[in-house]
Amino acid sequence: MKSRYLFLIIGLCSCGENHTTVLTIDTPDYKRGESLLDHQPDSAFYYFNKVATGSKDSLLIAKSYNYMAVIQSDAGDYYGAEESLLTSLKYLDEQAPSHQNCLVSDYNELGRNSAELYNYEASINYYDQAIKRTRNGNYKAIALNNQAVSFEKMGNYTQAIAIYRSLLEHPPADKLEYARILSNFAKTKWLQDSGYYAALELLTALQIRKEENDEWGLNASYAHLSDYYTRKKPDSAHFYANQMYTVARHLNSPDDQLQALQKLIELSPSNDVKQYFQRYQSLNDSIQTTRNAAKNQFALIRYEVQKNKADNLRLQRDNIKQRVVIYGIVALFCTAVWVFILWYRKRKQRLEWETQTAIREHQLKTSQKVHDVVANGLYRLMMGIEHQESIEKDRILDVLDDLYEQSRDISYEQTKHIPIDFQGAIASLLKNFADASTKVLIVGNDNRLWASVTDKVKKEIELMLQEFMINMKKHSSAQNVLVKFDHQERLLIVEYMDDGVGFPSSFRRGNGLTNTGNRISAIGGQITFDNELPKGLKIKVSIPIAPNA
């Protein structure tokens, strides 16, 4: 569930601790961004981006990038938020007292963002950076609480409970933060020991949140209580799941609505499951569309601001040149200016058209993926629910969980980063498929081999090898797998061999291997399947590359 602590960012970035003096002077654009933050985040992002690209005050720039990251994270653009936070850190001085609170905020947000991307180890390290930089008790409690949640998500309940206990020994003055710590502590104790009686603490936290009218806190409490009562009292679990759904709808939190609907599908009578499933399907499709549109919009806003800045600089240079032009060529100069303006307008129109075309193509591609990955699967499941007299809830939940993860993959789709240590990445990929029954041998995978290989080819090779290994695990029953890499003249040779069952005589390529063949063809390579071996399978791939350096 998504925790929203925007007040923490505001408090930290305004440098509110008593020992710190604020040295920045907020600009009109910065103040305008703050005023729009709650109601028009897209417009706020525009003004913060103007400050970030136009100001000369490094702290003000860092604060603006921090705000931009919060807006991106709330819209589900976690990779974009991470980029903004890392940019913010570049403008901060680790030793400057006036920069410490913004550093705390950046590291806390990096921790939350990493947790949303399931990178809990990185999340914990970022929280450590935030904790050691703040002297404010409330801010430290928030960061420690966040860190404990990451430990809990990793399954390290002992460490999480130790943090919660230390916080409860000296509870924060803020009642809402105390309720959050208490509820999380009770939930984690129950996860560690299913016999632990967590109801009293969970209900105490719920009552505090009701008294303080903390709707986000109520949302979390209802989720914890529904999970706790699922096995003990299904009726109570259903009641709290329904309460969570009501609050999540009032807060307009799509992610929490999806979680509540998943609980209701599991806990509801058979005749109510279909209506909850239909709501889940509609809401999930809407979330993917909205988040992809938001990512595109943030990129477009940054593009426009950079473009306007470049245009302004160019116009300033033109004005300087105008001052030194003699009066005798005024007419010729005016004609040149008119031609330039005409050309500029046409160029701007063309760039805008190209940008809009790119956005439409991206949206079409995303819509197709949502249709292929999610819609078809949901439709088949819906048909099964409609025509079956008895419904296996566990099977439905397994399918829903799988579709949910696939839809998140589509939502978070980014240009794939090629690691510097590509040799290590390939080794890690292949070794992940080794186990007690399957040995994986790698030959020729060294850094010199990859030195002359482009990122595009590396990306396709990684996807190709992943497809080979998945097919091996699913179908071949192989005990030994060999993957060999080599340079031959101007070709990169990749050979895959296993001692599995090989392809049957009636074998036809599925979508995975067909796509792999298309990828290799797209980069000028060739792929050969050798199924004439007495046992197993051999695949040879040759790809043209630059001569080995």
Pair of tokens at residue 7: 């007040």
In a domain, 192, yes or no: no
In a domain, 347, yes or no: yes
**Same domain, residue pair 318 and 457:** no
Q: Residue 104: which domain range?
A: 6-173
In a domain, 47, yes or no: yes
In a domain, 187, yes or no: no
In a domain, 243, yes or no: no
Global pTM? Answer: 0.51
**Same domain, residue pair 343 and 467:** no
**Same domain, residue pair 344 and 465:** no
The predicted structure's pLDDT at residue 473? 84
Final residue before a domain boundary, out of 391, 411, 431: 411
- Domain of residue 74, CATH code: 1.25.40.10
* 3-class secondary structure, 526: strand
In a domain, 351, yes or no: yes
Give every strand in the sheet of 537-544, ordered side by side.
Answer: 439-443, 480-488, 491-498, 537-544, 526-530
The predicted structure's pLDDT at residue 390? 64
pLDDT digits (tens, 9 = 90+) for 476-501: 888 999 999 998 888 999 999 999 88
Cα 186–192–197 angle (5° rounding)? 45
**Same domain, residue pair 16 and 163:** yes
**Same domain, residue pair 440 and 388:** no
**Same domain, residue pair 294 and 394:** yes
Of 193, 114, 99, nearest to 149 by C-alpha is 114
In a domain, 317, yes or no: yes
In a domain, 253, yes or no: no
The predicted structure's pLDDT at residue 109? 93
DSSP 19: T
**Same domain, residue pair 10 and 147:** yes
Low-confidence ranges of the chain (pLDDT < 70): 1-25, 290-322, 325, 355-356, 358-392, 395, 398-399, 401-406, 408-417, 504-512, 531, 546-549
**Same domain, residue pair 402 and 427:** no
The predicted structure's pLDDT at residue 512? 64
**Same domain, residue pair 26 and 128:** yes
**Same domain, residue pair 426 and 406:** no
The domain total for the chain is: 3
- Domain of residue 517, CATH code: 3.30.565.10
Task: Work out the angle between the directed axes of helices 175-192 and 157-169 (0-180°, nearest 10).
Answer: 150
Q: Which residues contact 124 (CB under 8 A, 6 or more apart)?
A: 111, 147, 150, 151
DSSP 511: H
What is the rounded CA–CA span in Å between residue 168 and residue 328?
82
**Same domain, residue pair 27 and 169:** yes
**Same domain, residue pair 394 and 438:** no
* Contact between 460 and 523 (Cβ < 8 Å): yes
Final residue before a domain boundary, out of 173, 201, 227: 173
Q: Which residues contact 10 (CB under 8 A, 6 or more apart)?
A: none
Of 43, 32, 46, 75, nearest to 302 by C-alpha is 46
Final residue before a domain boundary, out of 354, 381, 411: 411
- Whole-number Cα distances in Å, 205 to 176, 188, 428: 9, 14, 44
